[in-house]
Amino acid sequence: MNKSTTKQLSDYADSMKQTVLDAIPGSGIPQSAQDFLDEKRVVSILTDTPDLLIKHHNKFMPELIKNFNAKEYLLYHQIKSKQDKDLSLVEKTLIGRYKICEKLLKIFNYEKIINKSKYKSYTLATVLDRYTCTYCNRLYTNTVITPLKKGRYSPNDDNRITRPQFDHWYAHIIYPLLGVSFYNLIPSCSVCNSSVKGDEIFDLKGYTHPYMKDTKEVFSFSFNHKDTEDLNVKINVKKGSKMANHLNAFKISEVYNAHSAMELRDLLDLRYKYTDDYIHTLFNDTFDSLDVSQEEIYRMVFGIEQLEQNYHKRPFSKFKHDILRELLLIG
């Protein structure tokens, strides 16, 4: 994903900051923590990049909880839903010590500020402008707003039809300070956001972040060449890498294998059921008299995008591009 412009980030901060600032005084968090969250800091939390967001979290938590301990904090989240009768004395102490962090959910209140506000959620989705799920590229998640014949949009009008879900890359329950941070809200499908990822804890050391692309963290789709009847999708990725962890977290191999009987089969049929002359004619002579680019040929023949920066515009674009390249159909 491309980083947004300075103006887009400034507009986002302007639309969010006052709601956050107004929620701080009556939140019940210590005064030192309230002082930490001045206007400048709040704007930074709303708009800073992922590497800086985690620094805000690490600096703030000791202001919220004296002698804050990260391991204890994670343990608190594991035990907080247990019945009181099932808790040990140590666990009860931990819950009493760390339950104050829940108050942050009312300050950086994603549900109230974004999710339940059609105006703000659809505005954000429009700015991000992603057509398919950022994580899996299998499902359309584009934003649909029907035009009004007259008048202006109201915050919850019926003209806003659908938008992507927003996944908290830094899990919301673990990092409540980042609940409405621009670069922590990743447009995604419901499967990746809710069914697959859930509240899995990500960090920059172990996982790739959509806004912080590492050119070394790459992968490609492939397939089982030994028995094409099996239609097994394979993924080439460095074992133990951040990208491998990302793909495992979103079960990319499993979900793409579920599509192999259709998406992969169509490509293999084209390669193995037709002659090389036919394939050459299809991709060269057929469009020779037309003023069309290779990118346009991709869209017309396969319904996908050829260029990486445009993969998000059509489902399965990366998958089909990788398979086609491996089959030596087109470059």
Structurally, how many domains does the chain consist of? 2
For residue 211, name the pLDDT band (cuts at 50, 70, 90). very high
Q: Are residues 116 and 246 in the same domain?
A: no
What pLDDT, on a 0 to 100 scale, did the predictor assign at position 228?
Answer: 62
pLDDT in tens, 81-121: 999 889 999 999 999 999 999 999 999 999 999 999 999 99
Q: Are residues 119 and 54 in the same domain?
A: yes
Q: Are residues 269 and 232 in the same domain?
A: yes
Residue 330 near residue 283, CB atoms below 8 Å: yes
Domain enclosing residue 144, as ranges: 6-197
User: Is residue 213 a part of any domain in this protein?
Assistant: no
Residue 136 near residue 192, CB atoms below 8 Å: yes
Q: Residues 6 or more apart from 266 whose CB is under 8 A from it?
A: none
Give the pairing type, strands 219-223 and 185-188. Answer: unpaired
User: Is residue 100 a part of any domain in this protein?
Assistant: yes
User: Is residue 111 a part of any domain in this protein?
Assistant: yes
Q: Are residues 173 and 24 in the same domain?
A: yes
Q: Which one is predicted more confidently, 272 or 148?
A: 272
Residue 139 near residue 133, CB atoms below 8 Å: yes
Domain boundary pick from 137, 165, 197: 197
The model's pTM = 0.90
Q: CA separation (Å) from 237 to 178, 206, 216, 252, 267?
A: 30, 14, 10, 12, 22
User: Is residue 281 a part of any domain in this protein?
Assistant: yes
What pLDDT, on a 0 to 100 scale, did the predictor assign at position 4?
Answer: 85
What pLDDT, on a 0 to 100 scale, did the predictor assign at position 64?
Answer: 96
Q: What is the mean pLDDT of residues 162-186?
A: 96
What pLDDT, on a 0 to 100 scale, did the predictor assign at position 195?
Answer: 85
What pLDDT, on a 0 to 100 scale, did the predictor assign at position 196?
Answer: 87
Rounded to 5 degrees, what are φ and ψ at 138? -105, -30
What pLDDT, on a 0 to 100 scale, did the predictor assign at position 288?
Answer: 67
Q: Are residues 103 and 31 in the same domain?
A: yes
Residue 66: how many CB atoms within 10 A of its CB? 9
Give the span between the Cα atoms of 86 and 306, in whole angstroms.
Answer: 56
Name the average pLDDT for the chain: 90
Name the 3-class secondary structure at 235: strand
Residue 193 near residue 202, CB atoms below 8 Å: no
For residue 45, name the pLDDT band (cuts at 50, 70, 90). very high
Domain boundary pick from 197, 229, 250: 197
User: Is residue 214 a part of any domain in this protein?
Assistant: no
What pLDDT, on a 0 to 100 scale, did the predictor assign at position 62?
Answer: 96
Give the span between the Cα atoms of 135 and 247, in whole angstroms.
Answer: 9
Residue 4: how many CB atoms within 10 A of its CB? 18
**CA 169 and chain centroid, separation:** 6
Q: Are residues 166 and 26 in the same domain?
A: yes
For residue 274, name the pLDDT band (cuts at 50, 70, 90). confident
Q: Are residues 112 and 254 in the same domain?
A: no
User: Is residue 296 a part of any domain in this protein?
Assistant: yes
pLDDT in tens, 287-311: 666 777 878 878 888 888 989 999 9
Q: Are residues 169 and 232 in the same domain?
A: no
Give the span between the Cα atoms of 167 and 187, in whole angstroms.
Answer: 6
Looking at mean pLDDT, say which of 57-66, 281-290, 301-310 comes out highest: 57-66
Q: Are residues 186 and 54 in the same domain?
A: yes
Q: Are residues 164 and 311 in the same domain?
A: no
Give the span between the Cα atoms of 135 and 167, in whole angstroms.
Answer: 10
Give the span between the Cα atoms of 18 and 161, in whole angstroms.
Answer: 27
User: Is residue 331 a part of any domain in this protein?
Assistant: no
Q: Are residues 136 and 22 in the same domain?
A: yes
Q: Are residues 112 and 10 in the same domain?
A: yes
Half-sphere exposure of 14 (CA within 13 A, CB side): 7
User: Is residue 250 a part of any domain in this protein?
Assistant: yes
Greatest extent of the chain over all pairs of C-alpha atoms, in Å: 79
What pLDDT, on a 0 to 100 scale, did the predictor assign at position 218?
Answer: 94
